[in-house]
Structure 1
Amino acid sequence: MNAATLPQILPDPTPRDPRRAGREHAKLAKRLRRQVGQAIADYGMIEAGDKVMVCLSGGKDSYTLLDVLLQLQKKAPVEFQLVAVNLDQKQPGFPEHVLPEYLKSIGVDFHIIEQDTYSVVTRVVPEGKTMCSLCSRLRRGALYSYAEAHGFTKIALGHHRDDMAATFFMNLFHHAKLSGMPPKLLSDDGKHVVIRPLAYVRESDIVEYAEARAFPIIPCNLCGSQENLQRKQVGLMLKQWEKDHPGRVEQIARALADVRPSQLADPKLFDFLSLGHRDGAAQADAHAWLSGEAPGTSDDSDA
């Protein structure tokens, strides 16, 4: 078959009905508000009087987070404050004007933190190695310091349902532990409460919503272009699972909220020693089992 006989793929001549598109967007926006509101209620993410720092990166997730929170704020049962905060990492070519112009246009309080973490990361991390770990620590430190200095009670991040599923498998495959990215957590120093209001939201819905809202997306060329990222590989795995078995990621997300310690193997979370133990029966420890000693005895033959 030569080029002349190849089937030609022509653009769809039928224009999309703008009224139908508007209805679909309204339904999507309503679904996102419901999911975010449910997550906030389920995990007690926002309380009366909270000053919430919404971390805005310029990506689809954080734009959607801010947009939906602003909608919910108007009808929320409690009053709370929202402030958008972006960390300008001094990455070459970063369009510094985009976020301020957008945030001014929608009338949102905001602050831009300027800290040259880019130079630190590129100087410390060898060429060809992934930069995410160090970049993430530096970014987190800058945001936490700003939150503490300005009295924020909550720090809102734009991680969604698919991020949480991917983190679970990242920890499983690369760190040999069952842990993930919780919807709400206390920072290691106990000073900050981090919330993820998009915990119930699918990434595909965020993609569609961001396109409909025409957010001025700023791509991350520092780490986003690194194709060997472990997280990217896990993401591809989840996408393939979802393609082969629609609803698979939703099942994984539901499982993360339905943990059965007695059905796993962590003796710190479930008292396996007491399970089925008979009163009065002595229990031997690992040393006794391996050495062949009876419980409560010791080798005193040399005494």
Structure 2
Amino acid sequence: MDEERSRKQREKLKRHLTWRVTKAIRQYRMVGEGDRLMLCLSGGKDSLTLVDLLAAYQRQCKERFEMEVVFLDHGFPGFPEALLPRHMEKVGLPFTIIRQDIWTTLQEKCPDGKKMCSLCARLRRGALYAHAADNGFSHIALGHHMDDMVETLLLNLFYGGTMKGMPPKLTTRKGDLTVIRPMAFVAEADVIRYLRLAGYEAAPKDLCGVGENEKRREVKEMLAGWRKTHPGRVEKIFHGMGNVVPSHLADTSLFKF
């Protein structure tokens, strides 16, 4: 009985989240007829959820597009190698593993662990972009959700003095790839709940031993506090990212005062 109730809850939540993904894709024109989509799978909760939701979207949408799931093996010690192939067997999407020994490079360039995160991010992004370009993909799909986008906005505002976040859709400088975030309208709490109901095993987050960036952790804790004491505030901030009034800011490049 409990198993049946859990299944119904999972399917109900999946339909709701797929609707949110559909809304984001259509509002920002993320995917169209004939596109080739590379879905980046890290093994974490966000990308595992995105795989399911995009597979559901592909089955129900009118547009015909190709989609392949790609995992970048960083060479980090202790990663459960059998986890993702075993998971992908159930999903039924094309799956490719690309390998780049980022771990060794990080040990050489950042022996004290400082600035490891930023270098790791650049190396991962470079490897994924290169694979997409070499294999004819037009789009790269990432598993960032609403909370990630709000966190990034506040991090840039608090520590960088710039009002910049993660856009739902971004064309690279060369213009040959489009980066999309189909879970832009999905809250992290729903991702966590979906993963629990689906019974998925996520890969460990701390294989590098560095841990989460302190500044991002502070912002995460702040958002978690707001969700408890001021429900809806995070959603309001996200809504504000798409409801900008340039004349009421102070950027002369956006508004000729």
TM-score normalised to structure 1 length = 0.81
> Is the CA contact 2:18–2:53 (under 8 Å) kept in the aligned structure 1?
yes
Match among 133, 158, 168 for residue 148 of structure 1:
133
Distance 1:152 1:163 in 2: 25
Matched, 1:196 2:194: no
Matched, 1:44 2:19: no
Match among 50, 70, 82 for residue 85 of structure 1:
70
Amino acid at match of 1:56: L
Q: How does 1:1-303 map to 2 (within 5 A)?
A: 17-223=2-208, 226-272=211-257
Amino acid at match of 2:18: R
Relative distance call for 1:124 and 1:222 in structure 2 (3 A) is farther
Q: Which one has a larger percent helix, Structure 1 or Structure 2? A: 2
> Is the CA contact 2:76–2:208 (under 8 Å) kept in the aligned structure 1?
no
* Identical counterparts, % of pairs: 46
Spell out, residue by residue over 1:14-68, the C-alpha distance to the aligned partner (whole angstroms, 9 max, x if none): xx74443333222211110110000000000000011100000001100111101
Distance 2:249 2:209 in 1: 35
What secondary structure, in the 3-state scheme, does the structure 2 residue paired with 1:113 have?
A: strand
Distance 2:229 2:161 in 1: 26
Relative distance call for 1:108 and 1:180 in structure 2 (3 A) is same
Cα deviation for residue 130 of structure 1 reads 4.7
Distance 1:238 1:91 in 2: 30
List structure 1 runs of 4+ shifted beyond 4 angstroms: none
Structure 1: unaligned runs, 5 residues or longer: 1-15, 273-303
What secondary structure, in the 3-state scheme, does the structure 1 residue paired with 2:201 have?
A: coil
Q: State which drifts further: 37-46 or 121-130.
A: 121-130
Distance 1:227 1:51 in 2: 33
Relative distance call for 1:35 and 1:230 in structure 2 (3 A) is same
Q: Greater Rg, structure 1 or structure 2?
A: 1
Structure of higher RCO (CA pairs closer than 8 Å, 6+ residues apart): 2
> Is the CA contact 1:33–1:68 (under 8 Å) kept in the aligned structure 2?
yes
Relative distance call for 1:200 and 1:99 in structure 2 (3 A) is same
What secondary structure, in the 3-state scheme, does the structure 2 residue paired with 1:129 have?
A: coil
Spell out, residue by residue over 1:223-244, the C-alpha distance to the aligned partner (whole angstroms, 9 max, x if none): 5752553212211111111111
Distance 1:184 1:106 in 2: 25
Aligned to 1:277: none
Spell out, residue by residue over 1:189-229, the C-alpha distance to the aligned partner (whole angstroms, 9 max, x if none): 32210000000000000001011112231113245752553
TM-score normalised to structure 2 length = 0.95
Relative distance call for 1:224 and 1:211 in structure 2 (3 A) is farther
